[in-house]
């Protein structure tokens, strides 16, 4: 006998509203405060619970929300290990996501567990209020082989094989996610080679690209930023009193170049040559936008 799914049917706007509405955020805050109200961040958020929940909901609605960097600390008992703590407001959003989008995520998890493909419609937002969604693939459903769900910078991403290569898909931009299909997943051998659980190459904001071992020079005051981005085990090699270099594997993408650009003349990519050239092209394209017409 087949499995009968009794999942609530919602359109995408209803799903989104269930996650980021004031009511959903406030309810999530009340759940998250249990057992941690003694912490300063939780107490401060709860003390102004209505105002803070309304502010977070507005940021999520207008797209200005950005997750705060997690804090790392060491636990010494029963054995030394590194732990990560996220901001209370980010925990509130995550809890609302978990509580209200579980039906969508469950379909993906089920497909992964059953070694099956899924299909959905995928879109990007546009500034046109009358037609706010621009659908990829001419609006047709895309069928992929799902392998993992990831959380990055306040968003869930599906890591899946599309028949040609692995891609990242923002879950909140996926519509009409199907239940697991009869077709079995493709790309297993490629996934073993590119296992994201042990992947060493840094991916910036889930924008994948060709992997290079990139050598970068930084001014010494940027050591904290380097550790935040690449981890405390990154090797920083002094080159003079004011600079150090690192060599790290990176999946080169526009978001990587944008991150480099935020530091201006305090950072320079030294190699390899193809990455240096791509950086030049990135800078020139941006500069061209500001040329006098």
Per-residue pLDDT of the chain (293 residues; tens, 9 = 90+): 222 222 233 344 555 666 788 888 888 888 888 888 888 888 888 888 888 888 988 888 777 887 777 777 677 766 676 666 778 888 888 778 766 655 667 788 889 889 999 999 998 877 776 777 889 888 899 999 998 877 766 667 888 999 998 888 888 888 888 888 889 999 988 886 565 544 555 665 556 678 888 999 999 899 888 887 887 778 888 888 899 999 988 888 888 999 999 999 999 999 999 999 999 999 999 988 888 76
> How far is CA 92 from its chain centroid?
17
Q: Report whether the peptide linkage leading into residue 267 is cis, meaning its omega lies within 30 degrees of zero.
A: no
The residue behind tokens 């008992």 is 77
Exposure of 213 in the CB half-sphere (CA atoms within 13 A): 2
- Model-level pTM? 0.49
Is residue 98 within 8 A of residue 148, CB to CB? The reply is: no
Rounded Cα distance, 201 and 248, in Å: 7
Q: Which CA distances in Å does 287 have to 83, 137, 252, 290, 292?
A: 41, 31, 20, 5, 11
Location of structure tokens 């941006």:
286
Q: Do residues 54 and 20 make contact, with C-beta atoms less than 8 angstroms apart? A: no
CA distance 135 to 145: 20
What is the per-residue pLDDT for 98? 66
Q: How far apart are the first and last CA of the chain?
A: 68
Rounded to 10 degrees, the C-alpha dihedral 95/101/102/103 comes to 170
Q: How far apart are CA 232 and CA 230, in angstroms?
A: 7
How far is the C-alpha of 237 from the C-alpha of 29, rounded, in Å? Answer: 44
Q: What pLDDT, on a 0 to 100 scale, did the predictor assign at position 67?
A: 77
Residue 122: per-residue pLDDT: 92
């Amino acid at each position: 006998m087949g499995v009968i799914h009794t999942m609530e049917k919602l359109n995408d706007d209803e799903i989104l509203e269930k996650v980021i509405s004031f009511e959903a955020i406030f309810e999530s805050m009340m759940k998250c405060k249990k057992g941690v109200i003694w912490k300063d961040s939780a107490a401060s958020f709860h003390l102004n619970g209505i105002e803070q929940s309304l502010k977070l909901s507005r940021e999520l609605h207008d797209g200005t929300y950005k997750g705060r960097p997690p804090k790392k600390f060491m636990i010494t008992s029963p054995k030394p290990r590194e732990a990560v703590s996220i901001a209370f407001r980010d925990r509130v959003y995550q809890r609302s996501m978990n509580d209200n989008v579980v039906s969508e995520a469950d379909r993906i998890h089920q497909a992964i567990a059953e070694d099956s493909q899924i299909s959905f419609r995928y879109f990007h937002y546009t500034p046109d209020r009358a037609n706010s969604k621009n659908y990829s693939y001419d609006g047709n459903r895309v069928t992929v082989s799902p392998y993992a769900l990831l959380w990055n910078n306040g968003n869930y991403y599906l890591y899946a094989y599309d028949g040609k290569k692995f891609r990242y898909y923002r879950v909140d931009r996926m519509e009409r996610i199907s239940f697991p299909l009869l077709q079995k997943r493709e790309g297993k051998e490629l996934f073993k080679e590119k296992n994201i659980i042990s992947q060493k190459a840094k991916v910036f904001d889930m924008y994948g690209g060709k992997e290079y071992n990139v050598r970068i020079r930084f001014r010494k005051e940027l050591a904290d930023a380097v550790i935040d981005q690449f981890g405390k085990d990154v090797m920083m090699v002094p080159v003079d009193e004011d600079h150090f270099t690192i060599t790290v594997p990176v999946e080169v993408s526009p978001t990587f170049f944008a991150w480099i650009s935020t530091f201006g003349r305090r950072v320079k990519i030294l190699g390899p040559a193809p990455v240096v050239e791509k950086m030049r092209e990135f800078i020139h394209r941006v500069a061209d936008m500001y040329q006098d017409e």
